[in-house]
Structures are given as C-alpha cells and as structure tokens.
C-alpha cells in the first residue's frame, strides 16, 4: 500500500462554520480551491464547501476554473491571478469572474464580450440577450503585486461602468502582513485598509456600485475584524491551520478582539502510509543514502511506504516522527523518493514493540495532535503548511471521509 491522503470533509465544514461564527452568519465566504484546493482535491472540496453554504470559489488560473465547470459546479468562481489574453474566450464561455487591475486587459475583455453579443444577435435576432461578464476590480494597497494603484481605482471603475459587456460586481484588495502580530505589521495592515476604504468610498461617491467588497485572508479573519467587509477569503484557515493567534497580539489590539471567541479549526488532510517491512539493524550499521544515521545499538526499524514524491519533505530526514499505533517513532536516515525508515526501539528498548507489518503510520495532520500537524512539519523544514499540503502528491491518492 502506497501513501494516501485522508481528507476529513467534516473538518472542512466545521472550519467553515467556525469562520461564519467568527465573521457573522450573513457575510459571504470565498473558498480558495486553487492548486487543487491546496492539495486536498479541488472538485471534492468545492462541492463540500458549497454544501456548507459557501457562496464563492476562488482559483488562480482559468484552467482551474474550467475544471470546476466541467464537473458541473455552477457557483461564482473568482480568478485571482492575471489571465493571459488567450484565456479570455474561456473566461466568457465558462462565466468566470476575473479580478482586473488595468484598463488594457479590461478593454480586451469588453471587446470579446461585445463581439460575442453581436454574434448572438445576428443568430437570434430580437431574442438575443446582451450578456455582461462580471468582473471584480483589484486595488493594490501595499502588496505590490496585482491591482491598480489606489489613485487609479476610480478611473478603472468608471471605465468598467462604461463597458457594454462588463459589470462591476466586486472590489478587492489583498493584505500583505495580516497574519503578523508585530506592531509595525498591524499598523501596515491598518494603513492598507485605510487606503482601500478611501478608494471604495470614492467609487461609491461617484455613483458607481463597487459590488461585493472583500479583503480578508486567513490572518485578517483572525486579527482584523475591520477587514471583513462583505466577504472574506480565508485559505489555509479553512484547511485547518491558523496563521496567527489572537492572544499574541499587542494588548491594545487584542482588546479589540475580545468580543469575538477565539477561532478553532481542525486539519482537513492526514497523510498516511504503511509499514512495508520490519527488520533488525545491528549496532554500527547505517540506514539509507549518505549513511546519515548509524545505529548506536541493536534495534528494529520499520520501512515505510512514503517518500518525498508523496509529500514527505526530504528536509525532514532525521528530524521528524511518525505515529504508529498512536506512538511516535523517529524517522532515521535520509527520506528517499518512495520510502523512509523509522526507528522502532528508542531509549533502552531491545525488543520489538507491538507493531506489525502492514500497520498504518500517520505522517502528519488529520486526527493527530499539534505536534504532528502540517504546521509542525513545516516549522522543522523551514516552510509553511500551505507548501506541505500542496506537496502531497497525486500518487498518494485521496480518500474522502464524510
């Protein structure tokens, strides 16, 4: 049996409920299902999210949006990244909602939609309807990535309003350090929100409806209630990992959060594998490539059916522990592409513990404690839990538990 990822859909739905309880039942939630839903499986996560009452889905690319439409998912889908002009036909055909940052791309969208409407009119005559493509205006308030400058946002909003083929249905920004409890980062986020509020107000004052206003990512859902607006876009939070803790904020900022109960979430993914072989290793013998671990005494090791090709980082070699029968055993030697090894006789143990060949081992996540979460694995390998879950390969497969 190879490695496999168990996906706890009830944990996902519980996390969505936690976000609703935190931000208010009437507020919209957009679930990012980009990068195959952070490695969890975009189609299944999208369906479960919609069952839980989510209103929007988000992808990075047009091709990801097309996959959702192909599977019959009809909910609004936001395209977070900048599409290529060659993708415009698919955006229109699949009724996807791009975030626009500039007039040039917005003009190209409008021209394509207008042309399509003319073709329908030629065929259908008076029965043809003038279709409008929904777009969200993206404002750069300090991320310095996508989005128009705040002082250009009103001009872009006016241009969208003038387009026969487009409809402004939302206005958004993205926060750079909303998951930080450092005072200077909290101040930076507040400055971003001030810039965003001013830009949105100027759009409204001009007589243009900004549509659904949204800014909050996972960190902002936890730390910045003033960023929640009409919709929130938590990503890793919905997959079970908090990017910040409320009580670690500076005291004056934490006081503003005390009216909200601390949010709690559970990891949605659990990566498991099997004990494929148990063998004795004598004192002085080394294990795996590079001979980075040598037995200090006679011991037993378990060969496990998971490697870095399954999502267990090679950087975790000699640093991580797996759970077998609920007990932790250290990984020893280098993690290889398809396998790794665990030492079964720790401390003064000289006999094999109650572990059998083909028993299951938990690599991270799911029902395991925080010490065996993707966040803990990310910390020892110098990365973030996003990368850990995204790297759980398709070879590992997915088993969805309801």
The model's pLDDT over 323-358, given as tens digits with 9 standing for 90+, comes to 999 999 999 999 999 999 999 987 665 556 789 999
Average pLDDT over the chain, rounded to an integer: 93
Dump pLDDT digits (tens) for 195-204.
Answer: 999 999 999 9
Q: What is the pLDDT of residue 353?
A: 77
Question: Of these residues, 260, 280, 289, 319, which one is catalytic?
Answer: 289
DSSP assignment of 272-288? EEEEEEEEEE-TT-EES
41 pLDDT more than 60: yes
Q: What is the pLDDT of residue 123?
A: 53
Contact 344, 356 (CB under 8 A): no
Question: Quick one: what percent of the chain has pLDDT higher than 70?
Answer: 96
For the question of residue 289 being annotated catalytic, the response is yes
Q: What is the pLDDT of residue 249?
A: 82
For the question of residue 241 being annotated catalytic, the response is no
Question: Of these residues, 34, 66, 138, 266, which one is catalytic?
Answer: 34
401 pLDDT more than 50: yes
Q: pLDDT tier at 2 (50, 70, 90 boundaries)?
A: confident
Q: What is the pLDDT of residue 127?
A: 43
Q: Which of 207, 246, 212 is nearest to 229 (CA)?
A: 212
- 369 vs 391: CA distance, rounded Å: 21
Dump pLDDT digits (tens) for 103-158.
Answer: 999 999 999 999 987 775 555 454 446 789 999 999 999 999 999 999 999 999 99
Q: What is the pLDDT of residue 46?
A: 98
State pTM to two decimals.
0.94
Q: What is the pLDDT of residue 349?
A: 56
Q: At a CB cut-off of 8 Å and minimum separation 6, what does 57 contact?
A: 30, 31, 32, 33, 46, 49, 50, 68, 73, 75, 76, 77, 78
Q: Per the structure block, which two tokens stand in for 136?
A: 């969200």
21 pLDDT more than 90: yes
Q: Per the structure block, which two tokens stand in for 359?
A: 């028993």
Q: pLDDT tier at 1 (50, 70, 90 boundaries)?
A: low
Among the residue ranges 46-60, 271-285, 350-364, 374-388, the one predicted with the least confidence is: 350-364
Q: Is 205 exposed, middle or buried (0-12, 13-18, 19+ CB in 10 A)?
A: exposed
Q: Which of 243, 244, 231 is nearest to 32 (CA)?
A: 231
Q: pLDDT tier at 254 (50, 70, 90 boundaries)?
A: confident
Question: Quick one: what percent of the chain has pLDDT higher than 90?
Answer: 85
């Amino acid at each position: 049996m190879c490695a496999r990822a168990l996906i706890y859909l009830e944990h996902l739905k519980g996390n969505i409920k936690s976000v609703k309880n935190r931000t208010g039942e009437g507020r919209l939630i957009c679930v990012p299902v980009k990068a195959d839903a952070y490695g969890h499986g975009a189609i299944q996560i999208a369906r479960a999210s919609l069952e839980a009452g989510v209103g929007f889905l988000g992808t990075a690319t047009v091709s990801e949006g097309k996959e959702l439409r192909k599977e019959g998912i009809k909910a609004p889908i936001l395209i977070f990244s900048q599409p290529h002009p060659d993708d415009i036909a698919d955006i229109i055909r699949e009724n996807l909602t791009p975030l626009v940052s500039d007039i040039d791309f917005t003009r190209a969208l409008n021209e394509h939609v207008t042309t399509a409407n003319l073709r329908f009119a030629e065929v259908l005559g008076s029965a043809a309807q003038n279709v409008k493509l929904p777009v969200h205006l993206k404002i750069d308030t300090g991320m310095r990535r996508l989005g128009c400058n705040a002082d250009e946002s009103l001009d872009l909003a006016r241009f969208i309003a003038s387009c026969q083929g487009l409809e402004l249905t939302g206005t958004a920004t993205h926060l750079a350090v909303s998951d930080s409890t450092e005072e200077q980062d909290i101040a930076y986020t507040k400055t971003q929100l001030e810039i965003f509020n001013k830009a949105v107000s100027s759009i409204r004052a001009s007589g243009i409806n900004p549509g659904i206003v949204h800014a909050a990512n996972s960190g902002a859902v936890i730390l910045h209630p003033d960023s929640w607006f009409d919709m929130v876009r938590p990503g890793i939070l919905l997959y079970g990992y908090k990017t910040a803790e409320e009580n670690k904020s500076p005291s004056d900022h934490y006081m503003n959060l005390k009216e909200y109960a601390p949010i709690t979430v559970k990891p949605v993914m659990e990566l498991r594998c099997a004990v494929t072989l148990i063998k004795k290793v004598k004192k002085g013998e080394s294990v795996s490539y590079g001979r980075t671990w040598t037995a200090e005494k006679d011991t037993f090791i378990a060969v496990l059916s998971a490697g870095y090709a399954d999502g267990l980082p090679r950087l975790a070699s000699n640093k991580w522990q797996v759970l077998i029968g609920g007990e932790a055993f250290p990984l020893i030697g280098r993690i290889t592409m398809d396998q790794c090894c665990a030492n079964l006789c720790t401390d003064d143990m000289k006999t094999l513990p109650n572990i059998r060949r083909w028993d299951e081992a938990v690599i991270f996540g799911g029902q395991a404690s925080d010490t065996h979460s993707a966040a803990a694995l990310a910390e020892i390998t110098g990365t973030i839990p996003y990368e850990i879950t995204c790297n759980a390969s398709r070879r590992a497969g997915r088993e969805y538990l309801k």
